[in-house]
Structure 1
Amino acid sequence: MKERNLKILKGLLSVLILVGIIFIIKKLNIFSGNSTKNIEDFVKSYGSLAPIIYIIMFALVPLTLFPDSILAITGGILFGLLEGYIYTTIGAMIGGSISFYISKILGRDFIKNIAKNKLDKLEKIIEDKGFVIVILLRLIPLFPFDVISYGAGLTSIKYKDFILATLIGTIPGILVFTNIGAQWVNVGKSSFYLSIAMLIGLIVISIFMKKRFLSKDLREE
């Protein structure tokens, strides 16, 4: 009985924290307008703290359903390819971890309200194939980053396997999107068109991998 009460208390506390964070995000209009320019101006306004603010924003993406690709491109605009990649990766790891543990703490019913009906088959395939399937899903940018994290948290996959698979699987996607941002100042030059070609290549490969390695039911989800 004591253990059950503790679990309920944990759940309530987690919900209150989440609601508080979401309220602050909305109050500050951090993700308003879905525009790289809006985000760029917001992050720049913090001066030397800009990298920390950017990482925090990326970490909070799972609670907002904001397109993380837009944020990654903004990271490239703000910090260049190398620093943009590093900060985006740190933010993505923290954000993925938050989603993973939200699922662990709050459970299936709560998470399904966030991710709608996208978790049923995803949860099963991660449960069956664990580490390998998380890497594969991360390599497919067309598959929602946050949904994978929420789904993994509902399975028995170990956190260390989940986070390592996430780190490895997100390398191509983060590099491509931050590179587009980094090349933004070179519009009209060959380096910019190369970054767009890399994005197209990533999408084509993602579609191929999705059709080749994922079941029809999971593709439709």
Structure 2
Amino acid sequence: MEQFEYTLENFIAGFGWFAPLLFVLLHLLRPLLFLPVVLVCVIGGVLFGFFEGALLSFIGLSLMSLVSYILVNKFPKFKEKMSELKNKMFANRKISVGQVMILRIMPFVHFHLLSLYLMEMTQSRKEYMYYSMLGLILPAVIYTAFGEAITEFPWYVTVFFFIMLLGIYMIVGKMNKVRLASAVGNIKKRA
């Protein structure tokens, strides 16, 4: 293991200041290479350490969010494909911004699909990027710090972790429905 770490350090040192740039580029190429977000963030933690790895992952994921926005708005076929995927995975289901942020933490949930949800909930690119970047902080930090540990957990700990995230997702959804019902009730009282 020490030899592996030594080899990685030499590899990164060989690229110098270009290494962080290559890592951010890896985040942008990740969908084309069919690499999960978790894996790329874990690689960032191994190669650059926690702080720099999390920061670089956050930058890479934020740029990927911007690319998603551009793809959906410039290429109607891409938006159409993402809408079809949305209808297959979450047919007739509205989710809140908070739920999107929780889903971002879950590994293997389609990145561009969640971006599409955010685009539909926001009014402008600036608002979309604000919520998108806010929702990328936790995945970048968690995956960089604990990504490798999560993949080494026994299956029952991993299942518990996903059930816990699913529970949080459901609670946020119910809170959103209660807030929406309250707002509708207030509007009806005023009318």
TM class, shorter-length: 0.5 to 0.7
Aligned to 1:173: 139
Aligned to 2:188: none
Aligned to 2:164: 205
Q: Is the CA contact 1:104–1:154 (under 8 Å) kept in the aligned structure 2?
A: no
Q: CA deviation at 1:80?
A: 0.4
Aligned to 1:92: 61
Aligned to 1:158: 124
SS of aligned partner of 1:119: helix
Larger radius of gyration: 2
Which of 93, 110, 125 is the matching residue for 2:78?
A: 110
Instruction: Please give the residue correspondences for 1:1-221 in structure 2 after superposition, counting only pairs within 5 Å.
Output: 44=12, 46-107=15-76, 109-113=77-81, 115=82, 117-120=84-87, 121=90, 125=94, 131-132=97-98, 134-141=100-107, 143-153=109-119, 157-180=123-146, 200=158, 203-213=162-172
Identify if the C-alpha distance between structure 1 residues 170 and 211 changes in structure 2 by more than 3 Å, giving closer, same or farther.
same
Divergent runs of 4+, >6 A: none
* Length-normalised TM-score, structure 2: 0.64
Superposed CA deviations along residues 93-147 of structure 1, whole A, max 9, x for unmatched, are: 000110111001112x33344x483223589736xx5x55543443544532222
Q: Is the CA contact 1:62–1:99 (under 8 Å) kept in the aligned structure 2?
A: no
Task: Quote the RMSD (CA, aligned, Å).
Answer: 3.7
Identify if the C-alpha distance between structure 1 residues 176 and 204 changes in structure 2 by more than 3 Å, giving closer, same or farther.
farther
Q: Which runs of 5+ in 1 are unaligned?
A: 1-36, 185-191, 216-221
Q: Is the CA contact 2:54–2:140 (under 8 Å) kept in the aligned structure 1?
A: yes
The higher-RCO structure (CA 8 Å, 6+ apart) is 2
State, as a whole percentage, how many aligned pairs show the same letter: 19
Q: How many matched pairs? A: 160
Distance in 2 separating the partners of 1:98 and 1:55: 13
Q: Which runs of 5+ in 2 are unaligned?
A: 175-191
Q: Which amino acid aligns with 1:207?
A: L
